[in-house]
Amino acid sequence: MKVTARFHSGRLWLGLKGDLDHHGARDAMILIKSRIEELYPRDCLLDLSEVSFMDSSGIAVILKTYKLMNELGGRLWIENVPAQPMKVIDAAGIDRLVAISSLTAKE
Amino acid sequence: MNRPINEMRCEFESRSVNEGFARALAAGFLSQLDPTLEELGDVKTAVSEAVTNCIVHAYPKGIGKILLRVRLYPDSTAEITIRDWGVGIPDIDKAMEPLYTTGGEDRSGMGFTIMSSFTDGLRVRSRPGKGTTVVMKKRVSPRTEPK
């Protein structure tokens, strides 16, 4: 699991790449947490366009990132979610907490 | 149910690096039924949840064995079994409640919910101290028109 970070004007963009399963989630969470605590962003964007697979471990990563941003008084956005991770997000119902946009428009 | 037309079984160690291996193996075997990409994704997700449960919950203090078995049936149905010989689940109904977890904040408590919503049938048998068996059924939709 790779995490790429870009920071500009209080906005932190984090691009996740690889499988966001229990094996990948641990590394991803360490990297995400360290960037947020280091940069103290107002907005955090998690870009999932290069996530090849996600299960409920990814849901835990999103919820933990949401909590971190909430504690800072910031906001979290999830964007470019491919079809398979989107189905997991829908099943977990976390779109009620976090703003999410998928890669493919819903019919 | 009819007799299976094909069956595979594989035993591997409860190491998190094997989660991706188990998903790929189940999906590769299921591809004989000509599933859609979405159906393959569903099976990979459900297998990943079940195998992660074995790694996180069944063997919390070490490495144990996990068995993955896939049976294919003539009516385009797959039966996927994931078995461990770990600590077992004392209260299955409680474990299957959405958001319930004993795994702390690293876990979402959505594993069984996702297994259930991504397959066409989920059965869980467990005995404390003996282990847990999860059996899932997935129906693959027949393709009527060749592409």
Residue B145 lies in a domain: no
CB contact under 8 A, B45 and A84: yes
* ipTM of predicted assembly, 2 dp: 0.90
CB contact under 8 A, A21 and B20: yes
Range with the lowest mean pLDDT among A93-107, B34-48, B128-142?
A93-107
Percent of chain B with pLDDT over 90: 78
Main-chain phi, psi angles of A98, to 5 degrees: -120, 140
Q: How many domains does chain B have?
A: 1
Residue B56 lies in a domain: yes
Q: Which long-range contacts (CB under 8 A, 24 or more apart) does A31-36 make?
A: A31/A3, A31/A5, A32/A3, A32/A61, A32/A65, A32/A68, A33/A64, A33/A68, A35/A3, A35/A5, A35/A7, A36/A12, A36/A65, A36/A68, A36/A69, A36/A72
Residue A76 lies in a domain: yes
Residue A12 lies in a domain: yes
Q: CATH number of the domain that B68 lies in?
A: 3.30.565.10
A83: pLDDT strictly greater than 90: yes
Residue A23 lies in a domain: yes
Structural domain harbouring B134? 6-139
Percent of chain B with pLDDT over 70: 97
Alpha-carbon distance of B40 to B128, in angstroms, equals 32
**Given CB atoms, is A103 within the 8 Å cutoff of chain B?**
no
Residue A107 lies in a domain: no
Alpha-carbon distance of A24 to B104, in angstroms, equals 17
Q: In what order do the strands lie in the sheet with A99-102?
A: A2-8, A11-20, A43-54, A75-81, A99-102
Structural domain harbouring A17? 2-102
Per DSSP, chain A holds a count of helices (H) and strands (E) of: 3, 5
Catalytic residue among B49, B69, B71, B79: B49
pLDDT tens for B48-97 read 999 999 999 999 999 999 999 999 999 999 999 999 999 998 888 888 87
Residue B6 falls in the annotated catalytic set = no
Q: CATH number of the domain that A85 lies in?
A: 3.30.750.24
